[in-house]
Amino acid sequence: MKTLERWLKHKWMILVHPEILQAYQRTFSTHDGQLILQHLLDHIYFTVYQGTDAAGAALHNARRSVVHEILMNIDAAENPQKYDVKVEKEKVDAP
């Protein structure tokens, strides 16, 4: 039951160690980090694949996934309470 409870609390996010989250935040809060993040957003995340090749579309989606992971980790570092889903135990009456 504990495994299910842990999963319910964090089912929308892969657990990342708080020290790693803080490293993401420190890295991308610098001037250089913000320039790089803006470049990734402009040239990968906010672009649409316009080709007809399925492999090209999959590659573009994979690249976008990496940028999305960076954004999620920065957000989790800045707003940890946002990802802490409270789970309440329900009392079950015995028959």
Amino acid present at 20? I
Mean pLDDT, the chain, rounded, equals 85
Confidence of residue 22 (pLDDT cuts 50, 70, 90): very high
Q: 54-78 vs 31-40: helix axis angle to the nearest 10?
A: 150
Residue 53 lies in a domain: yes
Nearest partner of 72 among 29, 16, 11, 31, judged by Cα: 16
Dihedral angle sign, alpha carbons of residues 65, 8, 5, 87: positive
Q: How many domains, in total, are found in the chain?
A: 1
Tokens at 20, concatenated? 């790693």
What pTM does this model have? 0.71
Query: Which domain range does residue 19 map to?
Result: 2-83
Q: Give residue 79's pLDDT.
A: 86
Residue 67 lies in a domain: yes
Note whether 36 and 45 are within 8 A (CB).
no
Residue 4 CA to chain centroid, in angstroms? 21
Dump pLDDT digits (tens) for 44-55: 999 999 999 999
Dump pLDDT digits (tens) for 59-91: 999 999 999 999 999 998 998 777 666 667 777
